[in-house]
């Protein structure tokens, strides 16, 4: 292995290392950026993979046999965190504990690379790298890749000041939060992880965000025409200069260009090939999103009532958390999909639907001419992929910064409609039927399928 690694390095090629925290939403954009630098710009890239609790989808992505020649994957040793987390540990806290423990070996790993990297790119939950790089590779610049949009980045950079100025909970503020130079952020649209200041999630997030000024630069997955006001504020407003923050570089859209071919993926495309052009609603809540049993039933009935064709990535529901699949995306599920859907739903919608478990080739589906719209959790990667392919969205945010993204999709970019949440936080079947028909029927002048 050592000889093979050394052979891949060339002293004539600039060498950049990448370090994402676990989860496809973090891994994918950094991995795509690494591939772009290798294939389009003559770089060598080392991709450091946190293997503890890595999902099947993450492992399949990073260990594909078709990786570019100068992109090398280094698996960090797995560690036991079973005594630090349990089934009730919130998602961000779980992620940060995993990352914190996994990166205790980072100094050693960097020192063992046959060719020291000239830069390291991390995501916001890997700020331990600032300390490790001081010892491992003196003067190495560490760049942070903010994998969400510029709007939550601006709010996050404002958070330490907000933390000092505001007493009590942010959710109790009487007015929207005025982020310097940006559009006000509605209280109901704030990041999940800052809604409870007493929580460990808030403390972890504030810790990592407070360290962003240590970066050599902040890369953000967006572009000027998409978020001109926020990017201008980050680059020009006095508040951010006074923190000070490093230069902010919009480098988006960084999205998947290729996907591995799987049996399920081939079946999805074969089914889409048989459908009329611009006729199918794609339903997916991303790699980490999951619904409660009651909510999944309401979604199913709403899809049935809409009378539209749909391709739905269905996962077993969970009444514990709406992000419970974050660490097991792509894991095989042997249960029959109908076992966790309403009785007779599969039979009643069989002629106009395709149901798949766990995973589907999202980019290939969004690019397909039969796909008309995308019901999405509004993770930023999914939003960018939908925008890049000109597919309108039904925005159904679940966690993290997704409510901010959903508001942007509907109110600022104007490329989708947000579902209305009813009593008890439930999106009812009538609301599902309404938004699906609004986008699929009224928008595309289609008729329901009898």
Query: In the CATH hierarchy, which fold is given to the domain comprising 2-147?
Result: Rossmann fold (3.40.50)
Given this model, what pLDDT does residue 189 score?
87
Q: Where are the beta strands (DSSP E) in 180-296?
A: 217-220, 248-250, 280-284
Could you tell me the residue ranges of all domains in the chain? 2-147, 263-442
CA distances for 419 relative to 431, 435, 436, angstroms: 7, 7, 10
Label residues 61-89 b or e (16+ Cβ within 10 Å = b): bbeeeebeebbbbbebeebebeeebeeeb
Query: Can you state the percent helix, strand and coil of the chain, rounding each to 5?
Result: 45, 15, 40
Vertex 373: Cα angle to 317 and 329 (nearest 5)? 35
pLDDT tops 70 at residue 66: yes
Same fold, 2-147 and 263-442: yes
Please compute the mean of the pLDDT values over residues 372-400 and round it to a whole number.
96
Given this model, what pLDDT does residue 134 score?
78
pLDDT tops 60 at residue 435: yes
Please compute the mean of the pLDDT values over residues 105-109 and round it to a whole number.
92
Which of 96, 100, 94, 95 lies closest to 128 in space, CA to CA? 100
Confidence of residue 2 (pLDDT cuts 50, 70, 90): very low
pLDDT tops 50 at residue 450: no
CA distance from start to end of the chain: 59
Given this model, what pLDDT does residue 238 score?
98
Q: Is the peptide bond before 244 cis (omega within 30 degrees of 0)?
A: yes
Given this model, what pLDDT does residue 10 score?
63
Given this model, what pLDDT does residue 329 score?
56
pLDDT tops 80 at residue 94: yes
Catalytic annotation, pick one of 26, 44, 94, 368: 26
pLDDT tops 60 at residue 449: no
The residue that leads in pLDDT, 55 or 99, is: 99
Please compute the mean of the pLDDT values over residues 393-403 and round it to a whole number.
95
Q: Contact 289/312 with Cβ under 8 angstroms?
A: no
Please compute the mean of the pLDDT values over residues 343-361 and round it to a whole number.
92
CB contact set of 412 (below 8 Å; sequence gap of 6+): 183
CB contact set of 413 (below 8 Å; sequence gap of 6+): 226, 387
Catalytic annotation, pick one of 123, 208, 368, 377: 123
CA atoms within a 13 Å half-sphere pointing along the CA-CB vector of 33? 30
Establish whether 172 is a catalytic residue: no
Given this model, what pLDDT does residue 257 score?
84
What's the farthest any 2 CA atoms get from each other in the chain? 67
Please compute the mean of the pLDDT values over residues 439-447 and round it to a whole number.
68
pLDDT tops 50 at residue 4: no
Query: Side by side, which strands form the sheet with 371-376?
Result: 353-357, 309-314, 280-284, 371-376, 393-395, 416-418
Given this model, what pLDDT does residue 288 score?
78
Q: Where are the beta strands (DSSP E) in 230-346?
A: 248-250, 280-284, 309-314
Please compute the mean of the pLDDT values over residues 392-409 and round it to a whole number.
95
User: Model confidence over 122-161: pLDDT tens digits?
Assistant: 999 999 999 988 776 567 899 999 999 999 999 999 999 9
User: Model confidence over 284-327: pLDDT tens digits?
Assistant: 999 878 999 999 999 999 999 999 999 999 999 988 765 545 55
Establish whether 123 is a catalytic residue: yes
Please compute the mean of the pLDDT values over residues 21-43 and round it to a whole number.
95
The residue that leads in pLDDT, 331 or 236, is: 236
Given this model, what pLDDT does residue 210 score?
97
pLDDT tops 70 at residue 97: yes
How much of the chain, in percent, has pLDDT values that exceed 90?
76
The residue that leads in pLDDT, 331 or 182, is: 182
- Mapped onto helix, strand or coil, the DSSP state of residue 122 is strand
pTM of this structure: 0.91
Alpha-carbon gap, residue 279 to 441, rounded angstroms: 9
Given this model, what pLDDT does residue 21 score?
96
Confidence of residue 447 (pLDDT cuts 50, 70, 90): very low
Q: Contact 123/18 with Cβ under 8 angstroms?
A: no
CA distances for 364 relative to 106, 272, 389, angstroms: 36, 10, 10
- The class that CATH gives domain 263-442 is alpha beta
Q: Which of 40-44, 219-223, 443-447 comes out lowest in average pLDDT? A: 443-447
Vertex 191: Cα angle to 189 and 192 (nearest 5)? 105
- Helices then strands, each counted (H, E), the chain: 17, 13
CA atoms within a 13 Å half-sphere pointing along the CA-CB vector of 26? 27
The distance from CA 246 to its chain's CA centroid, rounded to whole angstroms, is 24
pLDDT tops 80 at residue 334: no
* Token representation of residue 177: 């939060």
Given this model, what pLDDT does residue 11 score?
67
Dihedral angle, C-alpha 305, 306, 308, 309, nearest 10 ° = -50
């Amino acid at each position: 292995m050592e000889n093979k690694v050394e052979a891949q390095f060339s002293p004539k090629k600039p060498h950049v290392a990448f370090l994402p925290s676990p989860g496809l939403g973090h891994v994918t954009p950094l991995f795509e950026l690494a591939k772009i630098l290798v294939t389009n710009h003559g770089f060598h890239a080392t991709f450091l993979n946190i293997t503890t609790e890595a999902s099947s989808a993450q492992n399949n992505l990073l260990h594909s046999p078709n990786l570019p020649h100068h992109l090398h994957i280094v698996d960090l040793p797995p560690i036991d965190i079973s005594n630090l987390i349990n089934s009730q540990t919130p998602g961000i806290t779980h992620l940060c504990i995993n990352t914190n423990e996994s990166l205790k070996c980072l100094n050693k790993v960097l020192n063992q690379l046959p060719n020291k990297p000239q830069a390291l790119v991390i995501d916001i939950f890997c700020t331990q790298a600032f300390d490790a790089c001081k010892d491992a590779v003196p003067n190495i610049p560490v760049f942070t890749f903010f994998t969400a949009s510029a709007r939550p980045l601006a709010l996050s950079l404002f958070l330490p000041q907000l933390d000092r100025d505001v007493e009590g909970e942010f959710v109790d503020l009487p007015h929207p939060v005025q982020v310097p130079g940006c559009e006000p952020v509605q209280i109901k649209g704030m990041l999940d992880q800052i809604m409870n200041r007493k929580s460990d999630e808030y403390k972890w997030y504030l810790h990592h965000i407070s360290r962003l000024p240590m970066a050599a630069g902040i890369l953000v997955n967006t572009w000027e025409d998409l978020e001109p006001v926020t990017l201008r504020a980050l680059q020009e407003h006095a508040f951010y200069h006074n923190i000070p923050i490093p230069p902010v570089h919009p480098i988006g859209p960084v999205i998947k260009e290729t996907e591995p071919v799987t049996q399920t993926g081939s079946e999805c495309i074969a089914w889409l090939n048989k459908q009329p052009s611009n006729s199918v609603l794609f339903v997916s809540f991303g790699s980490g999103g999951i619904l409660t049993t009651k909510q999944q039933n309401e979604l199913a009935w709403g899809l049935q009532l809409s009378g539209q064709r749909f391709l739905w990535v269905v996962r077993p529901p969970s009444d514990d958390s709406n992000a419970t699949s974050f660490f097991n995306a792509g894991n095989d599920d042997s249960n029959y999909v109908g076992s966790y859907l309403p009785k007779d739903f599969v039979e009643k919608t069989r002629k106009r639907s395709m149901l798949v478990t766990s995973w589907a080739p999202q980019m290939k589906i969004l690019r397909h001419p039969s796909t008309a719209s995308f019901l999405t959790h509004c993770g930023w990667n999914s939003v960018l992929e939908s925008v890049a392919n000109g597919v309108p969205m039904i925005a159904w945010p679940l966690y993290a910064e997704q409510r901010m993204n959903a508001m942007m999709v509907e109110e600022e970019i104007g490329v989708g409609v947000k579902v209305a949440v009813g009593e008890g936080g439930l999106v009812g079947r009538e609301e599902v039927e309404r938004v699906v028909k609004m986008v699929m029927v009224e928008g595309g002048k289609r008729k329901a399928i009898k």
